[in-house]
Amino acid sequence: MKHNYQKELEKILEERTTVGKRLFLHSCCAPCSSYVLLYLRRFFRITVFYYNPNITEQEEYRKRASEQKRLIEVLNQELRAEETEGFPIEIQEGDYRPQVFFQTVRGLEQCPEGGERCRRCFALRLEETAKRAQAQAFDFFTTTLTISPLKDAEALNEIGQEMGVRYGIPFLPSDFKKRDGYKSSILLSGTYNLYRQDYCGCVFSRAQRQEEIRRRQSMDTEQSVGRVKEKRI
């Protein structure tokens, strides 16, 4: 039986005991973090941890990291202008070493998206998040990754809880895609003019995405040719 991690989170927040507590929030990108930051900063003093060595092209990594920082600055400006409520948001950037990602997923290069390769990638990023959160005496840690419909929230919460036990720091459960969280993140991406990528970040997800686009274009072409033939007949 699957857990309802979003209900677990809501129960924690309803108790109001977290207000002002420090949360170390792993973020995969600005678009995914947009809704999560607005949602959680009313309850926590958030430090975003941008740690994504899975983004294996440096130019792409820098673009996403820069966009994350820009979003946080804009949200803090809104807070200073009293256009919204909550605590100011801080950010830390982890080491960018794609070779660590490649070492972690070695032997799983042909694994389909969403499989064991992704699970190991989740563990890599969440372990580093837990380790740093523990070293800096944060009260909780969690990740924005559960906002994506393409990410396994069950696996992410299991890994997060495991890392929480290993490093002695509570993992905040979540399934941010629920309650229209994912839809809200899309709308917020438009509001803040955020760069939205169409693949996770690694070379493997990019190759799969390009293949999906190629197949769709091929199907569209075949259907167009078929319609032309029908008209001629």
Domain ranges of the chain: 5-201
pLDDT tens string for the chain (233 positions)? 678 999 999 999 999 899 999 999 999 999 999 999 999 999 999 999 999 999 989 999 999 999 999 999 999 999 999 877 899 999 999 999 999 999 999 999 888 888 999 999 999 999 999 999 999 999 999 999 999 998 999 999 999 999 999 999 999 999 999 999 999 999 999 999 999 887 788 888 887 777 776 777 766 555 555 565 555 55
Instruction: Domain 5-201: state its class.
Output: alpha beta
Grouping H, G, I as helix, E, B as strand and the rest as coil, residue 106 is coil
Q: Helix 181-191 to helix 30-40 angle, to the nearest 10 degrees?
A: 110
pLDDT for 205: 82
State the CB neighbour count (10 A cutoff) for residue 145: 28
Q: Would you state the pLDDT for residue 187?
A: 97
The CB density around residue 188, as the number of other CB atoms within 10 Å, is 18
Helix residue spans in the chain (DSSP H): 5-14, 30-40, 58-80, 98-104, 116-135, 153-167, 181-191, 203-232
Name the one residue in this structure whose structure tokens are 């949360």.
23
Two tokens, residue 174: 């979540």
- Distance CA(112)–CA(150), nearest Å, equals 12
CA distance 194 to 200: 16
What pLDDT score does 224 carry? 58
- Which amino acid is located at 26 in the chain? H
pLDDT at 228 (0 to 100): 52
Q: How far apart are CA 142 and CA 138, in angstroms?
A: 11
- Of the CA atoms within 13 Å of residue 212, those in its CB half-sphere come to 10
> Looking at the DSSP assignment, which residues form a beta bridge with residue 27?
50
Distance of CA 33 to the CA centre of its chain: 7
Tell me the pTM. 0.89
Let me know the angle formed at the C-alpha of 206 by 37 and 53, rounded to the nearest 5 degrees.
55
- Rounded CA separation 110/90 (Å): 37
Tell me what pLDDT residue 214 has: 78
